[in-house]
């Protein structure tokens, strides 16, 4: 399959964690993952409680590469400011892993500050249909974004949590960013199934496991990633759900 390449020079800097007020919808947490990788977590009200969503970014000497945006514009500017304050760098680009607003809700704000936003064409079309924010640039096939020694490889395994969900693999550091395709072991259920295809999801999760068997860090779209067992947990949840179904 053809892979389009985007090139940026890269160098590595150190940042520390930042958090806002506890239990605030505007709370922002930035957690060091490994090397030059950081997980940022923002919150959104769900049934009266703050619900976390994870995104990822990588620091380079040319700027910052981000996977997924915060929920909305109000959360996006503080994230950009926090990153720039700690790294002295601006965000170069952001890639959405599917069309829901916990992945694309900050796209308009990112574009306002010169960040190049990317999604698959399928995600773009679903965003149009659902009146969600649109990426500036689109790609069709699995795509490799290169940043001075880093490779971020997108992979579409098939429909799952959403019909358009992709995962992103960083081979040098063995980081697998799953977005909402992967459930945290903190989650006892598959969560929001409004756009899900659980039969396809089970098959697709097996494809991801086979393609990236040596993943050292596995990042779900919500809740904790610390035990690295999110993909296996997701497969177990799917098997249980599909068996009952």
User: Domain residues of the chain, as ranges?
Assistant: 5-244
Share of the chain above pLDDT 90, in %: 81
* Spatial distance between the Cα atoms of 45 and 51, rounded to a whole number of angstroms: 6
pLDDT tens across 149-166, in order? 788 999 999 999 999 999
Residue at token pair 């500036």: 136
* Spatial distance between the Cα atoms of 239 and 245, rounded to a whole number of angstroms: 10
Q: Would you name the residues annotated as active-site residues?
A: 98, 100, 102, 161, 192
Extract the runs of DSSP E, i.e. beta strands, from 110-241. 116-120, 137-139, 144-147, 150-155, 167-170, 175-179, 217-220
Residues 6+ apart with CB under 8 A from 144: 3, 4, 5, 6, 151, 152, 153, 154
- What's the token pair of residue 119? 């999604």
Helices (H), the chain: 73-87, 101-104, 107-112, 121-130, 198-211, 230-244
Among the four given CATH numbers 3.30.565.10, 3.40.50.10420, 3.90.25.10, 3.60.15.10, the one describing domain 5-244 = 3.60.15.10
Q: What confidence tier does 25 reach under pLDDT thresholds 50, 70, 90?
A: low
pLDDT at 14: 30
Q: What pTM did the predictor assign?
A: 0.89
The alpha carbon dihedral of 139, 128, 183, 45 has a sign of: positive
pLDDT at 60: 85
Which residue from 193, 165, 19 is spatially nearest to 95, judged by alpha carbons? 165
Provide the greatest CA pair distance for the chain: 52
pLDDT at 141: 94
What's the DSSP call for residue 62?
A: T
């Amino acid at each position: 399959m053809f892979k389009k390449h985007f090139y940026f020079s890269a160098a590595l800097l150190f940042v520390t964690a930042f958090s806002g007020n506890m239990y605030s919808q505007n709370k922002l947490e930035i957690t060091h993952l490994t090397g030059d990788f950081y997980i940022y977590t923002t919150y959104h009200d769900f049934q009266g409680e703050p619900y976390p969503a994870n995104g990822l970014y990588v620091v380079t000497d040319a700027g910052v590469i981000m996977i997924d945006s915060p929920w909305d514009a109000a959360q996006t500017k503080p994230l950009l400011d926090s990153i720039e304050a700690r790294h002295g760098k601006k965000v170069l680009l952001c890639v959405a892993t599917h069309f829901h607003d916990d992945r694309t809700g900050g796209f308009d704000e990112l574009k306002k500050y010169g960040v190049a936003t990317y999604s698959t064409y399928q995600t773009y079309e679903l965003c149009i249909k659902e009146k969600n924010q649109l990426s500036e640039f689109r790609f069709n096939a699995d795509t490799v974004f290169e940043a001075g020694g880093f490779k971020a490889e997108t992979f579409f395994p098939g429909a799952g949590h959403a019909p358009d969900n992709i995962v992103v693999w960083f081979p040098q550091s063995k980081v697998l960013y799953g977005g909402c395709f992967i459930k945290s072991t903190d989650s006892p259920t598959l969560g929001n199934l409004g756009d899900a295809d659980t039969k396809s999801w089970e098959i697709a999760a097996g494809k991801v496991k086979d393609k990236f068997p040596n993943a050292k860090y596995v990042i779900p779209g919500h809740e904790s990633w610390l035990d690295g067992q999110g993909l296996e947990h997701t497969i177990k949840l799917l098997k249980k759900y599909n068996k009952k179904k």
